[in-house]
Amino acid sequence: MAAELVAGVDIATQEVRVVCVDGEGRVVATGRAALPPPERPRPGWSEQDAGTWWPAAADALRQATDELGRSKAQGITAVAVAATSGTVVALDADGAPAGPALLYGDQRAGDEADRATAAGGDRWDALGFRPGATSGLAKWAWLLAQPDVGSRARHLAHASDVVVAGLTGDRRPPTDWSHALKSGYDPSRREWATEALEAVGVDADLLPEVRPPTSAAGKVSGEAASATGLPPGCGVRLGMTDGCAGQVAAGADRPGRFVTVVGTTMVVKGVTEDLLVDPGGAVYSHRHPDGWWLPGGASNTGGAAVEEAWPDADLGELDERAADRGPAGCVTYPLVATGERFPFVAPDAEG
């Protein structure tokens, strides 16, 4: 009998990554597939074709299961998906994108964010979170206000939901309260912020059901099994945002532990027993599946600045060159695009 394994799917900014691990947490197989670079047709805008997410995820999963071999791949008992927080899309009746996906750094929905913040003021004060221009809630509202998108939209989804739909065959799968936080879900009261949704014209009937991370979302369909190499009937579990998944993987998995994770952006997150509230809104809290809180913030600085300056460089070589030079003789704030979220909130900030 094959040893039990689990698979994790990460929908990053420019690629989808997959790891398969055993019961001891050892990585036994990997896969990766490219996504199209974000399109930025105007300052503060950042789009991607959501139709590329599932094919890339299926490709990356197939690489991992091929590396394992058919027999070992049959030991995969569950798969979960993580994605960038605040990346959303509107889907049509067939589950296809009704318009572009707006990525986590997109800031076009400032007016919608202001209306949502005003309508849910007391709730946001208690939760310590305000739906800014980069929030999924504001961006869903902006998408629905576009006639060519709003007339076709039948379901609102996060990037993770699109891949879960591909895995299960369910066009409207449940979502988790981690990905849903920036989309107007209140994890403290465990409900959608209906007053804010109504203020920006988001129909609650378009929203997914919300469950805790790690909850069952369905099973891998026969079609998805053929595309990915996963065993048919393999469990699909709801994941968390990439920042939350990264912090748990890095060891901040219980109260009192904090980590910094640098990817395209930089995330500082930890675990507390009680909800921490930042009146400025730079620090906000996701909720742990066990009821703890995950306070932290995400900066738009990070690895994207390195890629912008040295697109073809080897990161290890850059580390060695930096060590040889010693401390830097200058100070830089490496924002690639406009706007910052943490440690301060400034939509117009520039590097």
What is the residue-wise DSSP string for 17-75? EEEEEETT--EEEEEEEE-PPPB-SSTT--EE-GGGHHHHHHHHHHHHHHHH-HHHHTT
Question: pTM (2 decimals)?
Answer: 0.87
Whether the pLDDT of residue 80 is over 90: the answer is yes
pLDDT digits (tens, 9 = 90+) for 212-232: 999 999 999 999 999 999 999
Of residues 287, 272, 285, 289, the one with CA closest to residue 342: 285
- Token pair of 47, please? 């789009």
The mean pLDDT value of the chain amounts to: 94
Listed in sequence order, the residues at least 6 apart from 104 whose beta carbon sits closer than 8 Å to its beta carbon are 46, 84, 85, 86, 87, 134, 265
Whether the pLDDT of residue 141 is over 90: the answer is yes
Q: Count CB atoms within 10 A of the CB of residue 270.
A: 19
Position 246 scores a pLDDT of 86
Position 176 scores a pLDDT of 98
Of residues 210, 228, 209, 85, the one with CA closest to residue 166: 228
Residue 224 φ/ψ, nearest 5 degrees: -70, -35
Whether the pLDDT of residue 26 is over 60: the answer is yes
Position 142 scores a pLDDT of 98
Mean pLDDT for 30-57 is 97
Strands (E), 188-257: 191-192, 210-211, 216-219, 235-237
Residue tagged 């932290």 (tokens):
296
pLDDT digits (tens, 9 = 90+) for 142-154: 999 999 999 999 9
Position 96 scores a pLDDT of 97
Mean pLDDT for 105-126 is 95
Position 290 scores a pLDDT of 92
Which whole-number Å values give the CA distances from 130 to 125, 199, 261, in the listed order? 8, 14, 23
Asked whether the beta carbons of 178 and 240 are under 8 A apart, the reply is yes
Whether the pLDDT of residue 281 is over 90: the answer is no
Confidence band, pLDDT 50/70/90 cuts, at residue 2: low
Of residues 225, 305, 270, 228, the one with CA closest to residue 65: 228
Asked whether the beta carbons of 64 and 234 are under 8 A apart, the reply is no
Confidence band, pLDDT 50/70/90 cuts, at residue 175: very high
Residue 49 φ/ψ, nearest 5 degrees: -80, 110
Query: Coil, strand or helix: which one is 350?
Result: coil
Asked whether the beta carbons of 78 and 237 are under 8 A apart, the reply is yes
Whether the pLDDT of residue 263 is over 60: the answer is yes
Mean pLDDT for 280-284 is 85
Mean pLDDT for 195-221 is 97
